[in-house]
Amino acid sequence: MLNFRPQEKTTLVRLSNSGVRRNGRWLVRGVDFSISRGEIVTLIGPNGSGKSTTAKMAIGVLRTDEGRVERLAGLKVGYVPQKLSVDWTLPLTVERLMTLTGPLKGREIEEALSATGMLHMAKAEVQHLSGGEFQRALLARAIARKPDLLVLDEPVQGVDFSGEIALYELIKQIRNRTGCGILLISHDLHIVMAETDTVVCLNGHVCCRGTPQAVSQSPEYLKLFGGRAAGALAVYSHRHDHTHLPDGRVLHADGSVADSCFPGDGHHHSDAVENIHDHDPDCGCGHHARLHGFEGSEKRDA
Ligand SMILES: Nc1ncnc2c1ncn2[C@@H]1O[C@H](COP(=O)(O)OP(=O)(O)OP(=O)(O)O)[C@@H](O)[C@H]1O
């Protein structure tokens, strides 16, 4: 459900010919792009191409040595960094993680954990969380203060295929519900969110930029990632046919509630359609995602 007014195209951040230089070397240079309210911009590029540096420059964590970065006055940023320096030998609950860097009201914690499906794990120890749960906890922490801009540096690291799709779905839901802008970083070309408005491909500079479809076919992108990359870069479409309830049970689209779900249990769209899986049909994920290469007919399920 779209709760924000999509006509509000306020620019949150604009980078113009921006660059960062350290120890006599340009880490990134000549970066131009902007992020508006309700927009999802994805930075892609190989390791060391300057994605994190660009994101840090966008939110003011790093000072620019060239060009300009303009931010909306009073811009509130929620940032999930690529690495967290947490002492894992100390006990830390999900609830406590939420307030490590600043106070939050109980209601704000509850709302954020609920929005990311983590409310039932509020008292769980962070070091025992699965990769997907940990990323959701970090996401909850980032959205708790209701940011205008959410910056997610590799939010699907350590998450398996079905978890990755579920996380992208959650990120899309957060954008739809709050209308925040999202800057997403990924070096993984396997999946790019179908809802990404703009992909900026970096390699120390902006190599190419546009819709995911346009970027995947641009000569600069193909040169950087090789000919096979166009086939590897895919958008996902997702028939969201079940919801995980806070108590761990599953609510199917047909209204039934079960302790677990699996393909072929008679509650999923794909149970009636052959060959819908793009991955191991015994995976048990029940998400039934389908990948579409850009050269094929692209299809998006809302
Ligand atoms: N503070 C710094 N001082 C000097 N060099 C730096 C600094 N921060 C990053 N670099 C270098 O800048 C380059 C870009 O780093 P950055 O982390 O932005 O890349 P990335 O595209 O996010 O990489 P990855 O996909 O591996 O996370 C790298 O060569 C890195 O070693």
88-141 pLDDT, tens per residue?
778 899 999 999 888 899 999 999 999 999 999 999 999 999 888 999 999 999
In the predicted structure, residue 247 carries a pLDDT above the cut 70 = no
Q: What is the DSSP letter of 15?
A: E
Q: Are 170 and 117 in contact (CB under 8 A)?
A: yes
Residue nearest to atom 4 of ligand 1 (CA): 22
Q: What is the DSSP letter of 168?
A: H
> What share of residues in the chain are helix, strand, coil (percent, to 5)?
25, 25, 45
pLDDT-above-70 percentage for the chain? 71
User: The complex's ipTM?
Assistant: 0.97
140-173 pLDDT, tens per residue?
999 999 999 999 998 888 788 778 888 888 898 9
Q: Where are the domains of the chain?
A: 11-230
In the predicted structure, residue 270 carries a pLDDT above the cut 60 = no
Which atom of ligand 1 is nearest the CA belonging to 27?
12
Regarding the domain with residue range 11-230, which homologous superfamily does it belong to in the CATH classification?
P-loop containing nucleotide triphosphate hydrolases (3.40.50.300)
Residue 244: what residue type?
H
Share the mean pLDDT of the chain: 77
Name the pTM for this structure.
Answer: 0.75
- Whole-number Å distance, alpha carbon 155 to ligand 1 midpoint, is 17
Q: Is the dihedral of CA 274, 280, 286, 291 positive or negative?
A: negative
- Whole-number Å distance, alpha carbon 106 to ligand 1 midpoint, is 37
**To which H or E segment does residue 4 belong?**
none
Which atom of ligand 1 is nearest the CA belonging to 43?
21
Cα–Cα distance for residue pair 154/135, rounded to 1 Å:
10
